[in-house]
């Protein structure tokens, strides 16, 4: 239903090409430039932070997503003639209670896990809190991080999920492709350079979890809340010198990071628990059909 409703609007193939070509072309040019110049992304970020301050660097990085999200919404509205609600959910109206449920679930989990880690391994952390820069961080983060995460959800789990789904006429191809592409775009994050390629398991696994959430719940609300809480709480709570978000957070992780078999724990243990909680709350059924079934054009809708 969530994917198939795109058939109701202007859905010819070329309309789904322009935005991905522009976005992935921009990302590719950025990656090629980094490789060609043999740049150290983490060192570049450190230099920028030393020159401008972490709040300004965060603000400048997040502003781009305001433009991206506005551009996507305008394209969907005026080229696809599709209301944003139809890109968000298959329900009669957006269910914000779902957004807040996922947001609070992830927020409580992340805060609890961080505090447990802090009290269990105090030598791995320093108190990074400074009132004035932290308040500026809160203002920037609360306004802009949900825009950043919303763009990623609307683009991957919304626009691409629907576009690929009505082209492939099934659900599993858009699930796999959007998850792998979503994870792949994180390849040049500082975390990958520090921890190695194995951390891609986490990024791609997160893409699969958010995709499963969207298909099983027939809408983006849970994925929007989950992603917003994850990035927002991370930015405010804990930072490190090797992460994509380097902020005036409350704690700073000073431990020497490493990644091994433990990178599979979130993907194979924690994420299934989240999905189980949501499945019980929202009474998800018919998993096979919703994740692997066909996408049928409604009888009354003509091909375009």
pLDDT in tens, 109-132: 999 999 999 999 999 999 999 999
Distance CA 36, CA 42 (A): 16
- The structure's pTM equals 0.93
Is there a contact between 230 and 102 (Cβ–Cβ < 8 Å)? Answer: no
What pLDDT, on the 0 to 100 scale, is given for residue 304? 58
In the three-class reduction of DSSP (H, G, I as helix; E, B as strand; rest coil), residue 99 is classed as helix
- Judged against a pLDDT cut of 80, whether residue 52 lies above it is answered with yes
Residue 246: C-alpha distances to residues 49, 94, 191 (Å): 8, 33, 11
pLDDT in tens, 247-273: 999 999 998 888 778 889 999 999 999
Adjacency order of strands within the sheet including 125-127: 125-127, 251-253, 238-239
The more confidently predicted of residues 240 and 304 is 240
Terminal CA-CA length for the chain: 19
Helix (H) or strand (E) holding 251: strand 251-253
């Amino acid at each position: 239903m969530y994917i198939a409703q795109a058939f109701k609007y202007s859905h010819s193939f070329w309309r789904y090409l322009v935005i991905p070509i522009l976005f992935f072309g921009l990302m590719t040019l950025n990656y090629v430039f980094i490789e060609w110049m043999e740049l150290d992304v983490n060192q570049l970020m450190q230099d920028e932070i030393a020159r401008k301050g972490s709040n300004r660097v965060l603000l400048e990085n997040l502003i781009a997503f305001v433009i991206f999200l506005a551009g996507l919404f305008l394209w969907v509205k005026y080229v696809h003639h599709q209301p944003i609600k139809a890109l968000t959910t298959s329900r009669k109206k957006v269910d914000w209670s779902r957004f807040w449920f996922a947001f609070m679930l992830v927020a409580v989990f992340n805060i609890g896990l961080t505090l447990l880690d802090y009290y269990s391994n105090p030598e791995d952390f320093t108190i990074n809190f400074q009132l004035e820069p932290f308040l500026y961080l809160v203002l920037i983060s609360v306004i802009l991080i949900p825009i950043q995460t919303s763009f990623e959800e609307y683009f991957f789990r919304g626009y691409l999920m629907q576009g690929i789904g009505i082209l492939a006429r099934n659900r599993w191809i858009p699930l796999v492709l959007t998850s792998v592409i979503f994870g792949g775009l994180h390849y040049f994050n500082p975390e990958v350079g520090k921890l190695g390629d194995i951390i891609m398991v986490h990024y791609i696994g997160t893409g699969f979890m958010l995709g499963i959430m969207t298909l099983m719940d027939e809408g983006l609300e849970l994925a929007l809340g989950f992603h917003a809480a994850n990035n927002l709480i991370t930015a405010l709570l804990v930072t490190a010198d090797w992460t994509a978000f380097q902020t005036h957070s409350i704690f700073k992780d000073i431990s020497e990071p490493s990644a091994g078999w433990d990178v599979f724990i979130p993907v194979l243990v924690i994420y299934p628990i989240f999905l189980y909680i949501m499945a019980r709350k929202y009474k998800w059924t018919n998993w096979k059909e919703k994740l692997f079934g066909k996408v049928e054009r409604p009888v009354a809708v003509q091909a375009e």
